[in-house]
């Protein structure tokens, strides 16, 4: 097996054995999708909550995997000196990063393979979903969130990184238009929410999959800016060696 293949296998093995990550990446999105589709308590502004929820939960799944799961995992790898140890092998940074990207993409595909059928089973029936455009948004969102996750992972101690990633996850979930519409937020908070990558991704997915985005043009631009800026910040700030 090639170095890259071996590293990808290791990344996926670790994800599959980590119950917390499975809960985060799959369990919580499925629960949110099912619960709020069946229990109509959210002010979604649609006849069927699933029409609002499905794109938002897909955006949440992308954030869970590419920011929180990647960031927490990488942070602990740094703290436990796994990255340092790998640095003394012929693997190289390029293969390590490529393996992490492949790992994230595989998990996202698995998430979509579960969430989309669940959404359809719950009555989601988008009239003319633009899947290629949605895939492009997912790529941009993945890059943007990964940049945030790796920036935190590359600077903070393992436990602090864990708390920061989870805290940020909650903030972006609540402010990101994923399960709570922007219109329900106070005006100043709404402006901030629209500028967040979570809000932009949810809005773009809603526009491409359900033709219901509120400001898709602006959201595409916001998402693109985040996708450019956060990897550059991560590249500048990330440190491979870590202290416990």
Partner 1 sequence: MNGSIGSNGAAVEVDGLTVRYGDLVAVNGVSFRADHGQVTAVLGPNGAGKTSTIEVCEGYRRPTSGAVRVLGLDPADDQRRLSERMGVMLQDGGVYPSARVRDTVRHYCALYDRGADAAELVDAVGLADRASATWRRLSGGEKQRLSLALALAARPDVAFLDEPTSGVDVLGRDTIRSIVRDLADGGCAVVLATHELDEAERVADRVVIFDHGEVIADGTLDELRRGHDEIRFRSSPDIDLASLAAETGLAAVSVGSGEYLVRVASDPQVIARLSGWLGTHGHPLGDLRAGAQRLEDVFRRLTSPAAPDGSADAAGRSTGRRRGGAR
Chain residues that interact with partner 1, rule: CB under 8 A = 1-3, 5-7, 9-10, 13-14, 17-18, 76-77, 80-82, 84-85, 87-92, 241
Q: State which residue, 6 or 125, has the beta carbon closest to partner 1.
A: 6
- Closest approach of Cβ 71 to partner 1, in Å? 16
What lies within 8 Å, CB to CB, of 16 at 6+ separation is 22
Q: State which residue, 60 or 99, has the beta carbon closest to partner 1.
A: 99
- Closest approach of Cβ 4 to partner 1, in Å? 10
Q: Both tokens of residue 226?
A: 């985040």
Q: State which residue, 1 or 39, has the beta carbon closest to partner 1.
A: 1
Q: State which residue, 73 or 176, has the beta carbon closest to partner 1.
A: 73
- Closest approach of Cβ 136 to partner 1, in Å? 33
- Closest approach of Cβ 89 to partner 1, in Å? 5
Instruction: Find out whether 104 and 71 touch, Cβ atoms under 8 Å.
Output: no
């Amino acid at each position: 097996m090639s170095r890259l293949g071996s590293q990808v296998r290791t990344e996926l093995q670790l994800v599959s054995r980590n119950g917390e990550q499975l809960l985060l990446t799959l369990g919580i999105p499925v629960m949110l999708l099912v619960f709020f589709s069946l229990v109509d308590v959210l002010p979604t502004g649609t006849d069927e909550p699933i029409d609002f929820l499905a794109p938002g939960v897909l955006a949440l799944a992308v954030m869970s995997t590419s920011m929180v799961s990647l960031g927490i995992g990488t942070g602990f790898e740094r703290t436990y000196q796994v990255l340092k140890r790998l640095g003394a092998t012929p693997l190289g940074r390029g293969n390590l990063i490529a393996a992490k990207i492949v790992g994230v993409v595989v998990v996202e595909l698995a998430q979509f393979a579960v969430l989309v059928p669940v959404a359809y089973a719950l009555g989601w029936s988008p009239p003319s979903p633009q899947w290629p455009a949605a895939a492009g948004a997912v790529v941009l969102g993945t890059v943007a969130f990964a940049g945030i996750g790796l920036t935190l992972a590359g600077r903070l101690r393992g436990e602090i990184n864990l708390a920061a990633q989870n805290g940020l996850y909650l903030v972006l979930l609540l402010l990101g238009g994923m399960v709570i519409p922007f219109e329900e937020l106070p005006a100043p908070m709404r402006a901030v929410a629209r500028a967040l990558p979570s809000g932009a991704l949810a809005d773009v997915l809603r526009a491409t999959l359900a033709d219901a985005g509120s400001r898709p043009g602006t959201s595409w631009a916001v998402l693109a800016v985040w996708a450019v800026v956060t990897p550059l910040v991560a590249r500048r700030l990330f440190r491979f060696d870590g202290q416990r």
